[in-house]
Structure 1
Amino acid sequence: MGDSAEALEKVRVDRWLWAVRLFKTRGQAAEACRGGKVHANGEKLKPSRFVRVGERLEVSKEGILREVKVVGLLEKRVGAKLVENYMQDLTPPERFELLRMTAAQHVLRRDAGLGRPTKRDRREIEKLFGE
């Protein structure tokens, strides 16, 4: 029992990012840290650095800078509904909208001579605009 209490006092940043579902694998979380895509207080974080409750992290992923606050510590992955008990997402909604619009421009842009959109193209367009 004392071992689990000690584990909750300090958790590696790569393990925490994976546990709160910001990355699919712990390896991806560690690679993001090594690649300089995870910051706290303006400093790049190594995968082995411990996170603290109340700390704000900036995670650059998929073309968007996500800002999250550490609310609780955990080492094991939890269900998506429980993530809000451990992480508060402070990312402005405008960033998500910008990412969505960028994706929409990519799908809607067609080079000359390609003809009509294919069925696959149409489905991607409908998925973006919720038709």
Structure 2
Amino acid sequence: MADSVRLDKWLWAARFFKTRGLARAAIDGGHVHINGHRAKPSKAVEAGMTLSVSKGQSVFDLVVNAVSAQRRGAPEAQLLYTETEDSQAKRKEQALRRAAQSAGIMAPSSRPSKKDRREIHRFQRQEEP
């Protein structure tokens, strides 16, 4: 293993993103912070750094344990970092909140018919003005 590696390559090797391109796009979009500061894709990652990675609706607060430029299996990738207990608790709480919000929502049994669609459009036009 190397002493340091590019941030986009490390995120790809740690399996946070499926491709280095997606990792780079997330970094450029401001979804990755190193030690509280916005990062660049070429920033060198070293052991002991703290990362904050926003992916979807989840935020991962990580401490880098090891550096690797090669993508390996998931069990090996999880050894590259440690997620803080605070971060794990927040993600679990958010997941429970999302599950509670969607608990009462039922999917329709079938697609709307042409008549149903016309009624939906009429209803939407009435609410716009």
Q: Same fold (TM over 0.5)?
A: yes
Instruction: Give CA deviations for 1:43-64 in whole Å, capped at 9, x if unaligned.
Output: 1001111111000100011112
Match of 1:80 in 2: 74
Match of 1:40 in 2: 34
State the Cα deviation string for residues 55-100 of structure 1 (Å, max 9, x = none): 0100011112111111000001111111232111222223233134
Which structure has the bigger radius of gyration?
A: 2
> What is the deviation of 1:103?
4.7
Following superposition, the deviation at residue 107 of structure 1 comes to 6.1
Structure 1: gaps spanning 5 or more residues:
111-115, 120-131
Given that residues 64 and 96 in structure 1 are in contact (C-alpha distance below 8 angstroms), is that contact kept between their aligned partners in structure 2? no
Alpha-carbon offset, residue 104 of structure 1? 5.0
CA RMSD of aligned residues (A): 2.2
The aligned counterpart of 1:55 is: 49
Matching residue within 101, 105, 118 for 1:109: 105
Opposite residue 38 of structure 1, the aligned amino acid is: V
CA drift of 1:105 comes to: 2.1
User: 1:17–1:78: structure 2 CA closer, same or farther, 3 Å change rule?
Assistant: same
Q: Tell me the equivalent position of 1:23.
A: 17
% same residue: 37
Q: Given the two structures, how large is their TM-score scaled by the length of structure 2?
A: 0.73
Query: Are positions 1:93 and 2:89 aligned together?
Result: yes
| Poorly superposed stretches of 4+, deviation over 3 Å | 116-119
| Structure 1 counterpart of 2:66, one-letter code | G
Contact 2:71 / 2:77 at 8 angstroms: preserved in 1?
no
